[in-house]
A and B are shown apart, each in its own frame.
Chain A
Amino acid sequence: MEGTAVLGRLTWQVAQVTETRQETRRVKTIALDLDDWRGHRAGQHVDVRLTAEDGYQAERSYSIASAPEQGLELTVERLDDGEVSPYLVDELRNGDGLEIRGPIGGYFVWEARDMRPVFLAAGGSGVVPLMAIIRHRIAVGSSTPMRLLYSSRSLDDVIYRVELDQVAANDNGIEIVHTLTRAQPEGWSGYSRRIDNDMLREVAWSPSESPSVFVCGATRFVEAVAEGLVGLGYDPRSIKTERYGGTGG
């Protein structure tokens, strides 16, 4: 049976949807249960495959949102012209089956034994794998300092807003800094522009602290942040990036 278990990890298997939660207007979290799930690492993703009645198949990758200690949850943003995400966000119900493959990836992964301060930069739904990292840090009781700089269009578009507010309020060495690029509520005192070099200089750790960095968002966001950090003196090898948004969701 061991051989079967190994194969299960490598190929497609059917997960059961156990819960769905609306995070924002366009974003939903989907909790999944699998018979043969051997756990994941914070930052990894899975592939999801949908098959139409005529046999047409579409595959997309989605970051795992949950900590390894919390089972398997994906958070999916609905892209209006997408082939997969509208189904996941609008149609999927508790008890439905969903074909998945994974977990996948070993590069964009944070291990709790890494004691370096961590700088996380998220654009939109790029926050998902970074949330897995934050949740993992809390779940294992790590004291590694972490800072998240999170760029959203508006306050209503902030994914995990309540949980992030709680994390920040607990003062456990995790700092959350928001920037709202399109609309700000009245009295907003935070950043209200796209992430730029001045913001990185103010928020990111000093390069002298040898931080590790995880950046996730659209291509242009990721490249701007990575170039900005290198300009501040960060070692390019300490900056791990993951881009999304190209596969039509």
Chain B
Amino acid sequence: MQTEDMKLDGSAIGGMMLELFGREMTTAVSTCRSCGASGPLAVVDVYVQAPGTVVRCRTCESVLMKIVRGPDRTWIDFSGVRVIELES
């Protein structure tokens, strides 16, 4: 398997986000803190082979989020995201 094949879409974390946030999150629009690119969370690069899940901007490859799940809690680092826009 090649490293490139380990790259997934935001849809790969859609189920986890649905469980954590209680709503469909792949259509939420995030803005990258590093380059300012914005788009739906379906259109990001997701790497799941790390101990946690790493989400990168598809434009500049900066880390948008890191998500680590433990047996009874979850840690979410959103520090690479400037804004998340949700439909209300």
Contact A101 B7 (CB under 8 A): no
Residues on A with beta carbons closer than 8 Å to the beta carbon of B12: 61, 246-247
**A104–B22 alpha-carbon span in the complex (Å):** 12
A105 on the interface (CB 8 Å rule)? yes
Contact A107 B1 (CB under 8 A): no
Contact A219 B7 (CB under 8 A): yes
A218 on the interface (CB 8 Å rule)? yes
**A60–B40 alpha-carbon span in the complex (Å):** 21
Name B46's closest neighbour in chain A (CB-CB): A246
Could you give, for residues 1-20 of chain B, a 1 whenever the CB lies within 8 Å of some chain A CB and a 0 otherwise? 10011111111101100110
**A45–B19 alpha-carbon span in the complex (Å):** 15
Contact B6 A246 (CB under 8 A): yes
Residues on A with beta carbons closer than 8 Å to the beta carbon of B4: 219-220
Contact B11 A242 (CB under 8 A): yes
Name B27's closest neighbour in chain A (CB-CB): A106
Contact B19 A107 (CB under 8 A): no
A245 on the interface (CB 8 Å rule)? yes
Among B7, B18, B27, B48, max chain A CB count under 10 A is at B18
**A243–B18 alpha-carbon span in the complex (Å):** 20
- Closest Cβ of chain A to B28, distance in Å, is 9
Among A45, A104, A244, A247, max chain B CB count under 10 A is at A104
Residues on A with beta carbons closer than 8 Å to the beta carbon of B18: 9-10, 101-102, 104
Within 8 A of B (CB), among A145-181: none
B26 on the interface (CB 8 Å rule)? yes
A241 on the interface (CB 8 Å rule)? yes
Name A45's closest neighbour in chain B (CB-CB): B11
A108 on the interface (CB 8 Å rule)? yes
Residues on B with beta carbons closer than 8 Å to the beta carbon of A61: 11-12, 14-15
Residues on B with beta carbons closer than 8 Å to the beta carbon of A101: 15, 18-19
Contact A107 B8 (CB under 8 A): no
Query: Which of B5, B7, B11 sits near A108, CB closer than 8 Å?
Result: B11
B24 on the interface (CB 8 Å rule)? yes
A39 on the interface (CB 8 Å rule)? no
Contact A243 B14 (CB under 8 A): no
Name B40's closest neighbour in chain A (CB-CB): A107
**A54–B39 alpha-carbon span in the complex (Å):** 40
Q: State whether A107 and B42 are in contact (beta carbons under 8 Å apart), knowing that A10-B19, A101-B15, A247-B48 are contacts in the complex.
A: yes
List 7 tightest A-B contacts by C-beta distance, closest first.
Answer: A107-B42, A47-B15, A106-B27, A104-B14, A104-B15, A246-B8, A101-B15
Interface residues of A (CB under 8 A from B): 9-11, 45-47, 59, 61, 81, 101-102, 104-108, 218-220, 241-248
Interface residues of B (CB under 8 A from A): 1, 4-12, 14-15, 18-19, 22, 24, 26-27, 40, 42-43, 48
